[in-house]
Structure 1
């Protein structure tokens, strides 16, 4: 099973601590990694088909305090598609003059939709194929960038279609919000004042967030499995879609 990490924040925030925890899990998920940082309308996208444990690109990300309000990261354990750069998540496409970023954990069987020229997969993964279909259907449903509420309603109709083909744990962002859908394993956490200390679950590393944050900071994290000890991670229910805006969760039901 691949591992996902998403972050949505009220103010631009770096994700070095959480990404270090995610990269530690690359011993079992060694088929590549990627991470995307939204900065205003732009995106910094780093991908490598080598393990995050060994990649110099991963070392760069661990030590580079890129501040963003929306981040999606993924470490891969290949199921469909060989180990190659074009099959490495997250994937990015443009729609309505905005970048969209997507990462998926799971395995979709028999999903072979008809795709038109605007959205075609470059690699051979079921994940990228699902993303292209999702972008195509969003383009059909809306003439321009919809509100977060409108887009959430559309995603609640579309994502179950994908989930019917297998396991669909996915993260999606256009820089305005972070959407997270769970089929099997996904957890979320909000950090807000008063901030405390946290220790990684897989690495001997801790951070005192009280010394690094201000009263306006709020950060929501989503991960396949909890990344830290001693923090109140909450498991998603199977079939649940959650939206995070400005570091706050939007409960949207199932």
Structure 2
């Protein structure tokens, strides 16, 4: 049987009198690539924000790898194994491409509260010895810190190679073309060692060649890092070519779920979102 990795059970969130997501349920199995689509304002990014701890659901439960993560803080959820990119690129523009990728690794060394939570859940996998007072070590440039920084640089460069960005390692992030900035955001997310990678419109603003390159990169990193991926995307050709299952939202409610063929032929989806065109 497939191993369930994420389970959202009857999630609802209200902002004042507005119900943004209404009684939404979704499951994702280990190793799947699942899409979440719907018209603008349907609630897709709101669901991402609940999974990653930015919003707390009004009701319902979110379970990741057997841990109830409903309402936990974003950094803690990241340490448990969920990483994301954003609809609007959020890179450190004045830092180099390599430094941006290294930033993703710091969550493992800087949050005692998060490590205590993880240690209580699984002491063997998350020993307290992982935590170090790296702020003071960084200021003093202790031998341990220098060793860790070297390992972090090596790992970051390897991730850039995976995303075919290694030749830009010393460039400022702001100097990268738009499509490469999107790929850098994914590299930084990978640096946190996620089990579940959440991509919010990764192909937005890309030309067809860049979209195809990104599609191939996503397939490659899924295999290389044994990832499970959940993505939002408005490029329907991209979605239909890469996703194994798709959830469709409209006005915060689930209106369809299934494989690409099932979804694109669902009358409710055609009426709400896809129109009359059939994507192949």
Normalising by structure 2, we get a TM-score of: 0.32
Flag the structure with higher helix content.
2
- Which one has a bigger Cα radius of gyration? 2
Normalising by structure 1, we get a TM-score of: 0.35
Q: Give the number of the structure with larger relative contact order, counting CA–CA contacts within 8 Å between residues 6 or more apart.
A: 2
